[in-house]
Amino acid sequence: MILAIASREFKTLFLSPMAWTILAILQFILAFLFLTQVEAFTTLQPKLASIEGAPGLTDIIVPPLFGNAGIILLLVTPLLTMRLICEERRNKTLSLLLSAPVSTIDIILGKYLGILGLMLLIIALITLMPLSLLSGGELDLGKLFANILGLLLLVTAFSAVGLFMSCIAGHPTVAAMGTFGFLLLLWILDWSNGSSDQRSELFEYLSMLRHFQSIQSGLIGSVDVGYFVLFITTFIVLSIRSLDNDRLQK
Amino acid sequence: MTPLIEAEHLTRYYGQHCAVNDVSFTLTKGEVLGFLGANGAGKTTTMQMLCGNLAPSAGRININGFDLLDRPKAAKRNLGYLPDTPPLYKELSVQEFLLYCAQLHGVAKSAATKAIDRTKQRCGLTDVADRLIANLSKGFQQRVGIAQAILHNPEVIVLDEPTVGLDPIQIREIRALIRELGQDHGVILSTHILTEVQESCSHVQIIHQGRLILNETIAGLNRQMDTGTLQVATRLAPDVDSLMTIAGVSSIENISENRIKIHHSVTANPTEQIAERIINAGWGLLELTPVKRSMEDIFISLTQEHREL
């Protein structure tokens, strides 16, 4: 049941130009950034060779690429998730799901998995770029994996917030704005800690950027992974509750 | 036999406003129940509650023996619902959409193709199966909506205003389809078109301001509708007082000089005596027609009665 909903969601994304456009633009921008990074590496290479323990190919190319991808996806995810529940409610198609023998949990998880399908595709396309370097060089595959995992956790968290906002908003644009605002806030929360004597541990913990960067550096710690898992679970549960609430009051 | 739908004391509030107030009814197999009501009477709210789209503020719903709140999945498996706006994914083709609905209702893959073919045939969708729903006319979209509701062969079919936006020929086809479905399913049909109820339903319920004010079989309603009125036209003005003395005549209404309306009881039908009296008196009988109360009259008189209370 969940899979039926998820696969329809995934297919529908590709029925409109939306998914294709986003994939194309994303790939274009990131390819440009990737090439700039490769360029930087080739100019730096002679200098790096003379330094002991200098950062290698993976260090110079992969984290910036995935970091930029994270920021661009921060902008893109709200656009992809805004229609998930909101549009169904506006088009009155939600009653098809509500009167079918599926639970609210199935609906939410189905929708979520559908959008994650697209996210996985995006990440796969991004990963292809550094992998192409394997033809002429060597990569620190462990570090690459850490970056993939970091980005994956990041976008699943983005999508969870987007899904929730889509549940509570009356209009897709409102959902997109809400998601974007919330994510941006969490992203930059850490900036207020610029002066080190006024550090707030709570803000530091809440900041997404910090956890993402920590995983990106190759350090897959339970604190960071736990943060994302908690984050995703919270918003999925909130989404389920919010959709359930639809039946109770309107 | 367990009733297909058992609704007990359904009540639904929207904030302070009470949309449905203590509505109870049952539906058994082979019945087509017409749900009549003016706009805003609570028809759609009741239907949404029956189909699990809205939780009732109080009351209980059993569908084919399964409680809708305790075992929603089992209950909804026996349910096909067409809301007032057909829930269609406009970017899909008819075939794709029906396949998705089959999956949602857990129809096995092997059975799905057969079920879809049968449904398409029943609803006259075979020719448009590969077209996008967005490009179909409103009538065809409505049919896709009906197809979606009957696809998985549910025991209970709930149709909210199924003939809205259809042309007269399509309306006739859909009514025939509803009667056909009524033979081996339980069908609930909401409408504000009274002839629709007369044509396709076996039972009728009238809901007014959230309350159920009539629950009858069509035959019973037709009996009620016979409560006789005669329209009489004569060449000369008749003597009303003389006619009033005939047993069974309850009141006489003057329409014009030569035309009167006689209300009488059904049990003692005085038509024959009235005709005799007029002819004997030489008033010149031109016309004597029993006026059947249409469903409209019943509907209006019932709803007005309740407004006064």
What are the tokens at B250?
A: 């309850």
Q: Calculate mean pLDDT across residues B5-30.
A: 89
What are the tokens at B253?
A: 């209404």
Report the share of chain B in percent with pLDDT over 70.
Answer: 93
Architecture of domain B227-291: 2-Layer Sandwich (3.30)
Q: Is B20 exposed, middle or buried (0-12, 13-18, 19+ CB in 10 A)?
A: buried
What CA–CA distances, in Å, run from A26 to A31, A34, A77, A150, B306?
A: 8, 12, 12, 18, 64
Predicted confidence pLDDT, tens digits, chain A (250 residues): 889 999 999 998 898 888 899 999 999 999 999 999 999 888 888 888 788 777 788 888 899 999 999 999 999 999 999 989 999 999 989 999 999 999 999 999 999 999 999 999 999 999 999 999 888 888 888 999 999 999 999 999 999 999 999 999 989 999 999 999 999 998 888 776 666 666 677 777 888 888 998 998 888 889 999 999 999 999 999 999 999 988 886 6
So what's the ipTM on this one? 0.86
Residue B306 has a pLDDT of 65
Query: Measured in Å, how far apart are chain A's first and last C-alpha atoms?
Result: 26
- Each residue's pLDDT tens digit, B284-304: 888 888 876 666 677 777 777
Distance CA A97, CA A165 (A): 19
Distance CA B216, CA B205 (A): 7
Contact (CB, 8 A) for B45 and B20: yes
B153: CB partners within 8 A, 6+ apart:
B115
Residue B132 has a pLDDT of 93
Nearest-Cα distance to chain B for A100, in Å, is 6
pTM beyond cutoff 0.90: no
Closest partner residue to B55 (CB to CB) among A16, A96, A248 is A248
* Yes or no, beta carbons of A99 and B51 under 8 Å apart: yes
Distance CA A56, CA B85 (A): 60
Closest partner residue to B100 (CB to CB) among A4, A247, A250 is A4
Contact residues on chain A for B54, CB-CB shorter than 8 A: 247, 250
Distance CA B236, CA B282 (A): 8
Q: What angle do CA B152, B218, B249 make, to 5 degrees?
A: 170
Residue B221 has a pLDDT of 74
CATH fold group of domain B5-223: Rossmann fold (3.40.50)
A213: CB partners within 8 A, 6+ apart:
A67
- Each residue's pLDDT tens digit, B58-105: 999 999 889 988 898 999 999 999 998 899 999 999 999 999 999 999
Nearest-Cα distance to chain A for B118, in Å, is 20
The candidate with the shortest Cα–Cα distance to B174, out of B112, B50, B157, is: B157
Least confident span in A243-247, B26-30, B165-169, B202-206: B165-169
* Yes or no, beta carbons of B14 and A99 under 8 Å apart: no
Residue B266 has pLDDT above 80, yes or no: no
- Each residue's pLDDT tens digit, A201-239: 777 788 888 899 899 888 888 999 999 999 999 999 999
Find the residue in A nearest to B76 (Cα): A101
Q: Which of B71, B84, B101, B104 would you mutate first to test chain A, the one with the most A CBs within 10 A? A: B104
Tell whether A36 lies on the interface with B, counting CB pairs under 8 A.
Answer: no
What are the tokens at B29?
A: 């197999």
Residue A198 has a pLDDT of 64
Q: Which residues of B touch A (CB under 8 A)?
A: 14, 48, 51-55, 72-74, 76-77, 79, 81, 83, 85, 87-92, 100-101, 103-106, 148
Distance CA A35, CA A64 (A): 12
A221: CB partners within 8 A, 6+ apart:
A214, A215
DSSP string, A79-112: HHHTTTTHHHHHTT-HHHHHTSS--HHHHHHHHH
Largest Cα–Cα distance of chain B, in whole Å? 79
Please name every residue paired with B48 in a beta bridge, in sequence order, or none if there are none. Answer: none
Domain count, chain A: 1
Closest partner residue to A1 (CB to CB) among B51, B88, B106 is B106
Contact (CB, 8 A) for B82 and B159: yes
Domain range summary for chain B, segments of one domain joined by +: 5-223, 227-291
Comparison of pLDDT for B303 and B107, the residue scoring more = B107
Q: What is the dihedral of CA B72, B76, B78, B83, to 10 degrees?
A: 150
Residue range of the domain that includes A227? 2-191+199-248
Contact residues on chain A for B81, CB-CB shorter than 8 A: 95, 99
Find the residue in B nearest to A98 (Cα): B53
Comparison of pLDDT for A178 and B167, the residue scoring more = A178
* Yes or no, beta carbons of B89 and A5 under 8 Å apart: no
* Yes or no, beta carbons of A12 and B89 under 8 Å apart: yes
Q: Which residue has the tokens 């921008």?
A: A29
